[in-house]
Amino acid sequence: MTNTDATAVSGSPPYYDPYDFDIDQNPYPCFKQLRDHAPLYYNEKYDFYALSRYQDVLGASKDWQTFSSARGTVLELLDLPAEHIPQMMIFMDPPQHDRMRRLVSRGFSPRHINRLEQRTRELARELLAPFQPGDTLDLIDDYAAPFASMVIGELAGVPREDLDIVRQWGEDNLALKEGEDAFQGAKTMAADADSELAAARRDVWAYFNELIEKRRREPQDDMISAVIASEIEGDGGGGRPLEDRELLDFIGLLSGAGTETVSRLMGWAGVYLPEHADQFAAIRGDLALLPGAIEELLRIEPPSPVQARITTASATFYGTEIPAGSKLLLLTGAAGRDERQYHDPDRFDIRRDAKHVSLGQGVHFCLGANLARLEARVALEELIARFPTWEPDIATAQRIHTSTVRGYRHLPVRL
Ligand code: HEM
CATH topology of domain 2-414: Cytochrome p450 (1.10.630)
Mean pLDDT over 225-230 rounds to 88
Q: Where are the alpha helices (DSSP H) in 38-130?
A: 54-62, 96-105, 110-114, 117-128
Contact 340, 319 (CB under 8 A): no
Residue 172 pLDDT > 70: no
Rg of the chain over Cα atoms, rounded to whole angstroms, equals 21
Label residue 220 exposed, middle or buried (CB < 10 Å: 0-12, 13-18, 19+).
exposed
Distance 89 CA to ligand 1 centre (A): 11
Nearest protein Cα to ligand 1, atom 13: 360
Nearest protein Cα to ligand 1, atom 17: 366
pLDDT tens-place string over residues 181-205: 566 665 665 666 666 667 777 777 8
Which residues, 6+ apart, have CB-to-CB distance to 291 below 8 Å?
A: 373, 377
Residue 6 pLDDT > 50: no
Distance 261 CA to ligand 1 centre (A): 8
Distance 149 CA to ligand 1 centre (A): 15
Residue 375 CA: nearest ligand 1 atom is 27
Cα dihedral 110→112→115→119 (10° resolution): -110
Contact 290, 327 (CB under 8 A): no
Q: Model's pTM, two decimal places?
A: 0.92
* Cα distances (Å, whole numbers) of residue 127 to 63, 130, 294, 369: 42, 7, 21, 23
Distance 87 CA to ligand 1 centre (A): 15
Distance 258 CA to ligand 1 centre (A): 7
Strands 2-3 and 315-317: parallel
Q: Among 63, 295, 300, 366, which is best to mutate for testing ligand 1, by the most ligand atoms less than 8 A from CB?
A: 366
Nearest protein Cα to ligand 1, atom 18: 366
Nearest protein Cα to ligand 1, atom 27: 258
Distance 90 CA to ligand 1 centre (A): 8
As for ligand 1, residues whose beta carbon falls within 6 Å of it are: 61, 69, 73, 89-90, 101, 152, 253-254, 257-258, 261-262, 265, 303-304, 307, 358-360, 363-364, 366-368, 371-372
Q: Among 69, 147, 261, which is best to mutate for testing ligand 1, by the most ligand atoms less than 8 A from CB?
A: 261
pLDDT classification of 16: cutoffs 50, 70, 90: very high
Nearest protein Cα to ligand 1, atom 42: 368
Distance of CA 88 to the CA centre of its chain: 14
The whole-angstrom separation of Cα 59 and Cα 297 is 22
At 340, phi and psi to the nearest 5?
-75, -20
Mean pLDDT over 208-233 rounds to 89
DSSP helix/strand/coil, 78: coil
95: cis peptide before it, omega within 30°? yes
Q: Is 237 left (phi over 0), alpha (psi -120 to 50) or beta?
A: left
Residue 7 pLDDT > 60: no
DSSP lists the bridge partners of residue 309 as: 328
Q: What is the DSSP string of 334-396?
A: HHTT-TTTSSSTTS--TT-----STT--GGGS-TTHHHHHHHHHHHHHHHHHH-S--EE-TTT
The whole-angstrom separation of Cα 389 and Cα 266 is 14
- Helix then strand count (H, E) for the chain reads 16, 15
DSSP lists the bridge partners of residue 308 as: 329
Closest CA to 383 of 133, 45, 118: 133
pLDDT tens-place string over residues 40-72: 999 999 999 999 999 999 999 999 999 999 999
At 41, phi and psi to the nearest 5?
-105, 145
Distance 190 CA to ligand 1 centre (A): 21
Higher per-residue pLDDT: 157 or 180: 157
DSSP-derived secondary structure letter, 245: H
The whole-angstrom separation of Cα 338 and Cα 336 is 6
The whole-angstrom separation of Cα 224 and Cα 253 is 12
Distance 367 CA to ligand 1 centre (A): 6
Mean pLDDT over 378-394 rounds to 97
What are the boundaries of each domain within the chain? 2-414
Distance 366 CA to ligand 1 centre (A): 4
Nearest protein Cα to ligand 1, atom 1: 262
Label residue 37 exposed, middle or buried (CB < 10 Å: 0-12, 13-18, 19+).
middle
pLDDT tens-place string over residues 232-268: 887 777 888 888 888 888 888 888 888 889 999 999 9
Q: What is the DSSP string of 312-331?
A: SS-EEETTEEE-TT-EEEE-
